[in-house]
């Protein structure tokens, strides 16, 4: 199953909080199962919702446009002094990060090591991507969440602010660039 075909769901019910990841059909089946388990048992004389009603509710909720809760990233023109731009580009070329999660770790390392910034957020990453002329992630905050939950490269400091963990620092120092096959 490709990464593009993975669906995720997180649901909180009276039974607790559940997270599912897999094909869309699998995730929908698990959510329906948890909803069915958490619904109170019908008592005599009380009708229960028709089977499949939860799917209709979910589809109706999905059709409602979601508010954009994340503001657009801001370009921080003075983040990297002009004298350090070449150093930034060379560092990223040296480390050869693959994907946004590794790139965030490399950029977080540069911010800490070269610019003395202990924490960073979307605006810093957006600005560094622009300086490097890289295509930013469609939802920049998602890379932070994934870098934290999947690899522990970063951790949460405050609302929207992260720092590079010792795991992330070690990864950048010792595991990048990744060894290429056939050497």
pLDDT of 66 strictly over 80: no
User: In 3-state terms, what secondary structure has residue 73?
Assistant: coil
Q: What is the pLDDT of residue 46?
A: 47
Angle, alpha carbons 175-179-183 (nearest 5°)? 155
- The answer to whether residue 183 sits within a structural domain is no
pLDDT of 140 strictly over 70: yes
pLDDT of 50 strictly over 90: no
The whole-chain average pLDDT of the chain stands at 83
Q: What is the pLDDT of residue 28?
A: 84
| Contact status, residue 164 vs residue 105, Cβ threshold 8 Å | yes
Question: Which residue, of 17, 36, 63, is where some domain finishes?
Answer: 63
- Same domain, yes or no, for 58 and 115? no
| Contact status, residue 143 vs residue 137, Cβ threshold 8 Å | yes
Domain containing 165: what range? 82-175
pLDDT of 180 strictly over 60: yes
Domain count, the chain: 2
| Contact status, residue 3 vs residue 17, Cβ threshold 8 Å | no
Q: What is the pLDDT of residue 33?
A: 82
User: Over the stretch 25-43, which tens digit does the pLDDT of each residue have?
Assistant: 887 888 888 777 776 655 5
pLDDT of 52 strictly over 70: no
- Same domain, yes or no, for 14 and 42? yes
């Amino acid at each position: 199953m490709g990464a593009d075909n993975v669906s995720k769901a997180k649901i909180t019910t009276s039974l607790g909080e559940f997270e599912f990841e897999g094909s869309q059909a699998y995730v929908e089946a698990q959510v329906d199962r948890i909803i069915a388990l958490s619904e109170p048992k019908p008592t005599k004389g009380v009708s229960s919702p028709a089977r499949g009603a939860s799917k209709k509710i979910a589809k109706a909720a999905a059709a409602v446009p979601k508010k954009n809760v994340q503001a657009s990233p801001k370009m921080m023109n003075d983040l990297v002094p002009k004298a350090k731009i070449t150093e930034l580009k060379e560092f990223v070329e040296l480390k050869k990060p693959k994907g946004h999660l590794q790139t965030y770790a490399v950029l977080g390392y540069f911010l800490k090591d070269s610019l003395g910034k202990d924490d960073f957020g979307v605006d810093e990453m957006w600005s560094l991507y622009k300086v490097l002329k890289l295509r930013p992630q469609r939802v920049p905050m998602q890379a932070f969440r994934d870098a934290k939950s999947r690899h522990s490269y970063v951790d949460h400091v405050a609302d929207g602010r992260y720092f590079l963990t010792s795991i992330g620092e070690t990864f950048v120092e010792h595991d990048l660039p990744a060894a290429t096959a056939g050497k």
